[in-house]
Amino acid sequence: VPKKIDYDDRQYAVYAQARALAPDTVAAWAAAFRRHAGAPPPLTAVDIGAGIGRFTPALAETFGGPAYGIEPSVRMREVAERSARHDRVTYLPGTAAAIPLPDASCDVALLYLVLHHIPDRAAAAVEIARVLRPGGRLFLHSVFLERAPAVLWHRYFPAARVVEEEIFPPFDEVLATFRTAGLELVTVDRVHHRFANSLAEYAARLKLRGVSTFDHLSEADLVRGFAALDADVAAETTPRPVATDLELMVLARA
């Protein structure tokens, strides 16, 4: 069983820089959320495992209502409160299985790269269903075991695939977990996500190790991978963006 990642330990200090999103990438996700909101704004949003608030202000802006960022790591939350402030956003301590909001108080919920950190997914699904109003939507972005996206760093760190196979559940298992809790699949959409504007920028970001999968890799694998990546960076003459399409699973509360 892969070790649990404590975001208070190291990730909080590098996450903002390592995982910064370009405004147009945030906008691409926000447009997908808007497409699948199922109701007109104003809507109340909850960002579960909000981290440093990469998406929370965008949820408030997109849906025009209050947005709550629920985050268990004190230090991730501190970064959010400092760097992702918004007059309709409130960051609160909590977890996916213990959301400090009333029953049926939210119209939309976001779970973005958080599923694999949740120890009891069934309990979290029940809790998410509790805070959503009937008809409310869950936007879930994760990696699914058998449909891993074509992310470039897999080429340099092949051992990451082995780690990910242990961390990420298959699509049908996730669907079954949420179905049992009263959420039905609406659709799976795709969002164009740009990680960096060049391979050089991509490599610099990866070296901050703000991707929790790296915390599971051996030092030898990391050294080998970064050496290969550096060689490709040195050979990059025309900067080319590093981007791929990522999946967004949309579920509706019955």
Ligand X SMILES: C[S@@+](CC[C@H](N)C(=O)[O-])C[C@H]1O[C@@H](n2cnc3c(N)ncnc32)[C@H](O)[C@@H]1O
Which stretches of the chain bind ligand X, using CB under 6 A? 7, 48-51, 54, 71-73, 76, 95-96, 112-114, 117-118, 212
Q: Which residue number is nearest to ligand X in terms of Cβ?
A: 51
Give me the least distance between CB of 122 and ligand X, in Å please: 13
Give me the least distance between CB of 72 and ligand X, in Å please: 5
Give me the least distance between CB of 232 and ligand X, in Å please: 25
Give the residue with the Cβ less far from ligand X, 230 or 244. Answer: 244
Among 216, 112, 222, which Cα is nearest to 167's?
216
Q: Which two tokens stand for residue 228?
A: 């290969």
Give me the least distance between CB of 40 and ligand X, in Å please: 25
Angle at the Cα of 215 (from 112 to 157), degrees rounded to 5? 90
Give the residue with the Cβ less far from ligand X, 145 or 200. Answer: 145
In the chain, where do the E strands start and end?
Answer: 43-48, 64-70, 89-92, 106-112, 132-141, 183-196, 242-253
Give the residue with the Cβ less far from ligand X, 71 or 107. Answer: 71
Q: What is the DSSP letter of 169?
A: P
Give the residue with the Cβ less far from ligand X, 72 or 233. Answer: 72
Give the residue with the Cβ less far from ligand X, 25 or 73. Answer: 73
Distances (CA, A) of 88 to 46, 65, 85, 91, 146: 12, 7, 9, 10, 38
3-state class of 211 per DSSP? coil
Give the residue with the Cβ less far from ligand X, 114 or 242. Answer: 114
Give me the least distance between CB of 136 and ligand X, in Å please: 18
Give the residue with the Cβ less far from ligand X, 96 or 251. Answer: 96
Give me the least distance between CB of 4 and ligand X, in Å please: 8
Give me the least distance between CB of 82 and ligand X, in Å please: 15
